[in-house]
Structure 1
Amino acid sequence: MARIKESNFGDTSFQRLLGHNLEVMQGWCYLGNVLEKEGLLSAKLKEQVRRTLAQKNGCEYCKAKGKPELSRFDEKTSIAVAFTEVFLKQKGEISDSSFRILREYMTEGEISELCAFISFTTASQYFGAMMKLEPVRNQQ
């Protein structure tokens, strides 16, 4: 059970926890939708990054959506997930050499989008962890 009661606003448990402040919920959802969709990076790549982050960021709700699917990795996804693993270990102390590797496979725009996606997703997962947001259990 989450640490606070869900509001009456939002479509998901996560949104209803944010829904106590509609402006925050709406802004958060808008940015999440922008970052998750196809952009300079594919939505499929970003989903594998999200799954990688979920395994370490402490949100059970996010973990329940699955582990990274190695069979779906192409070269760019492998590089993005490896960078995500570096982020998880080093947080803001990522070396220039990690960015040099990214530049071999991604444009400046793609690197910016990847870092924004990692940062926003981590914040979302931390919020879920702080609130003890649990996965929805199938009821039979």
Structure 2
Amino acid sequence: MARIKESERGATPFQHLLGHNQEVMNRWNDLGTTLGDEGRLSSRLKEQVRRTLAQGNGCEYCKAKGKPEPHLFDEKTSIAVGFADVFLKLKGDIPDSIFKVLKETFSDEEISELCAFIAFTTASQYFGAMMGLKA
């Protein structure tokens, strides 16, 4: 059971917790959809990054959706997942040398999308962890 009662708004347990404020839930969902959909980066790549972040961000609900699947990785996914691992270990204090590696494979637009996705996903997973959201 989560730390607060669920609202009646939303379609998922996560949304039920955000649903205490309808506007926040709606905007959070909209941004999550925008960042999770196909963009400069594939949704498949972003799902592997999400799974990687879930293992380190403390949300049991997010972890339950599965671990990373290395057998599905291509070169870009491997680098993006590696970057997510570095982010987790360094708590966002990422050295320029790591961005140099990213720039060998990703465009600035892709790097921006990847970092936005990682930041938003981490915020979502921290929210789930703070609220004690279970699988």
TM normalised by structure 2 equals: 0.99
**2:90 aligns to what?**
90
**2:69 aligns to what?**
69
Task: Map Cα deviations across residues 77-127 of structure 1 (whole Å, 9 max, x no partner).
Answer: 000000001100112310000000000000000000000000000000000
Query: What is the count of residue pairs matched by the alignment?
Result: 135
| Code of the aligned partner of 1:96 | D
Distance 1:43 1:19 in 2: 25
1:128 matched to 2:128? The reply is yes
| Code of the aligned partner of 2:63 | K
Distance 1:92 1:129 in 2: 18
SS in structure 2 of the partner of residue 55 of structure 1:
helix
**1:7 aligns to what?**
7
- Taking only aligned residues, the RMSD between alpha carbons, in angstroms, comes to 0.4
| Code of the aligned partner of 2:33 | N
Distance 1:88 1:36 in 2: 19
Task: Map Cα deviations across residues 19-38 of structure 1 (whole Å, 9 max, x no partner).
Answer: 00001000000000000000
Distance 1:125 1:79 in 2: 21
Determine what percentage of the aligned residue pairs are the same residue.
70
Q: Runs of 4 or more off by more than 2 Å in structure 1?
A: none
**1:44 aligns to what?**
44
Distance 2:73 2:41 in 1: 13
| Code of the aligned partner of 2:74 | D
Distance 1:65 1:15 in 2: 16
| Code of the aligned partner of 1:28 | W
Task: Map Cα deviations across residues 19-70 of structure 1 (whole Å, 9 max, x no partner).
Answer: 0000100000000000000000000000000000000100000000010000
Distance 2:8 2:52 in 1: 31
Segments of structure 2 that go 5 or more residues without pairing to the other structure are none
Segments of structure 1 that go 5 or more residues without pairing to the other structure are 136-140
Distance 1:8 1:38 in 2: 30
